[in-house]
Amino acid sequence: MDLWWLFWLFLIISSLQPVVRQNMLETARLRALRTLERKRKSRVITLIHRQETMGFLGFPLVRYIDIDDSEAVLRAIKMTDDDVPIDLILHTPGGLVVAAEQIAYALKKHPAKVTVFVPHYAMSGGTLIALAADEVVMDENAVLGPVDPQIGQQPAASILKVLERKPIAEVDDETIILADVAEKAICQVKRVVKTLLEGRLPGDKAEEIATRLATGEFTHDYPITVDEARELGLTVSTEMPAEVYEIMALYPQTAQRRPSVEYIPSPRTKEGGTPRFRNGSSRT
């Protein structure tokens, strides 16, 4: 009987362990967000997408910007006084254009300063959100991406190329319809980018950036580095607070049986002593 009780106790503890671990992680996240808010006297919001495991079957589920995200971010902005700055930590491959636009417009309208932190990457819709910020802070190795719209699985700009390179009589009706939608989508995204940059850049510069990012000059997954972002005309800083990296560490990727990357998880210096981040902030 005692063995049976021990067996059931083991099962109960094993089943509760993931729940306890998740609650501890969520508590640590809130504590880290509160610390950064006190330091910067701001509202800190995270929009972080990681690959997650779906249910007990363990299938990977890749997250993107969706309507649930835009609803949550808009609620956070609504709960923030007009004189309180907003800091958004952004890590995403992109997602729904309508959701990204909602977030971007809401950030644009906030009266106090808006800062977007990009510790690793913010592609597509993530870049659209970053364009709404008064200041974009990127890790020196982080990247943004083009915002050219995609129609189904095809780039809108590439669909239009079909009409340019083939006589209209040789193009099927479905492609013609898609090209019409593609043209409208590109115009719409260009208008959004120009609106987001309005007031911070001259009109002709905003037009140039919108054209380069939205019309298919680059492939959709092209990584725009800090230097290239500055060449485009965007104001980008690399003074990333150490707390942002610490917060990112609290959003771990779903565990795999064998990690793809391994290293001793402690700062490494040549001479020893207190390690420092490249922006000058120290960490113990």
Of 218, 246, 267, the position where a domain reaches its end is: 218
Place 281 in a pLDDT band, splitting at 50, 70 and 90.
Answer: very low
27: domain CATH number? 3.90.226.10
pLDDT in tens, 135-169: 999 999 999 999 999 998 899 999 999 999 999 98
CA angle 71, 93, 119 (to 5 degrees): 95
Of 121, 120, 126, 114, the residue nearest 87 (C-alpha): 114
Joined tokens for residue 6: 């021990």
Question: Are 166 and 43 contained in the same domain?
Answer: no
Q: For residues 36 and 42, give the distance between their C-alpha atoms in angstroms, rounded to a whole number.
A: 8
Find how far residue 5's CA is from the centre of its chain. 48
Place 272 in a pLDDT band, splitting at 50, 70 and 90.
Answer: low
Question: Are 62 and 159 contained in the same domain?
Answer: no
Domain containing residue 196: 148-218
Question: Are 237 and 122 contained in the same domain?
Answer: yes
Place 283 in a pLDDT band, splitting at 50, 70 and 90.
Answer: very low
H/E segment holding residue 114: strand 114-118
Question: Are 118 and 30 contained in the same domain?
Answer: yes
Q: Is residue 189 one of the residues assigned to a domain? A: yes
Number of domain units in the chain: 2
Question: Are 87 and 204 contained in the same domain?
Answer: no
Residues 6+ positions from 61 with CB-CB distance below 8 Å? 51, 52, 53, 54
Q: What is the mean pLDDT of residues 224-229?
A: 96
pTM exceeds 0.85: no
Q: List b or e across 102-129, with b for residues whose CB sees 16 or more CB atoms inside 10 angstroms.
A: bbbbbbbebeeebbbbbbebbbbbbbbb
pLDDT in tens, 19-69: 656 677 788 889 999 999 999 999 999 999 976 544 444 444 457 899 999
